[in-house]
Amino acid sequence: MSSLFHPFEGLAAQLLPHSSTSHNDGSHDQSHLQRVWKNVCAIQEKEGGDLRILLAATVLHDCVAVEKSSPLRSRASTLSAEQAQHILGAMGWSQQDCEAVGQAIQSHSFSANIPPASLEARILQDADRLDAIGALGIARCFYTAGRMGSSLYEPEDPKAENRPLDDKRYALDHFPAKLFKLAEGFQTKRGQEIARERHARMERFVEEMLGEL
């Protein structure tokens, strides 16, 4: 797996054992890290940023696993940031670099609602959110709904025209409740461009699903 993190295969091999991707969650497994890194590289190529910091932040951004349904969910990125700094400090990284990685990780999460304060933080946030939208976002949405025991949709009112949205019970509600809002908040120009394309894919999917219903 570390070979997919070019050109930092050696660093990735050191960090992957700490990534907490073995907790049986296919939406936050090692393939998720690889996709986020691919997004990071696509954005960094246009925007700049320190790739070494970004690699460490990518691999460790979910190093403390917190389920979507957990009351600690809003603190997941802060817990991962703290753990990442501890891991990197033990490896001999400077305090400045540890803090840069921690800062990027802390603000990547939608649930945390912490504004990114550095270029690397903006890139990681965009790269992670890109994996939550588009075709991959659709797949992850329904996968997560299945893990949480949610229904596909509310059969009497799937569009939620006469009821409040409830994305804890219905997967389809998660699109207007959260996923359709993500494209508005991207931090980088390149991230915004990719997000618009993926957002359009989600809109087409929901339109087609509702048409079939």
pLDDT along the chain (213 residues), means of 10: 84 90 69 95 97 97 74 75 94 96 88 85 96 96 94 97 97 97 95 98 98 95
5: its two tokens: 């993190």
Give the span between the Cα atoms of 71 and 43, in whole angstroms.
32
Closest C-alpha among 42, 37, 195, 192 to residue 130: 195
CB of 109 closer than 8 Å to CB of 63: no
- From residue 91, alpha-carbon distances to 2, 11, 106, 201 in Å are 18, 11, 20, 42
pTM for the model: 0.90
Q: What is the pLDDT of residue 132?
A: 95
Give the span between the Cα atoms of 174 and 94, in whole angstroms.
41
Give the span between the Cα atoms of 83 and 88, in whole angstroms.
9
- List Cβ neighbours of 115 (8 Å cut-off, separation of 6 or more): 107
Q: What is the pLDDT of residue 29?
A: 80
164: its two tokens: 């409040």
Q: What is the pLDDT of residue 112?
A: 67
**Crossing angle between the packed helical segments 30-47 and 51-60, to the nearest 10 degrees:** 150
Closest C-alpha among 76, 129, 121, 115 to residue 102: 121
Q: What is the pLDDT of residue 68?
A: 63
Closest C-alpha among 47, 196, 195 to residue 123: 47
Task: Provide the 10 A C-beta neighbour count for residue 24.
Answer: 9
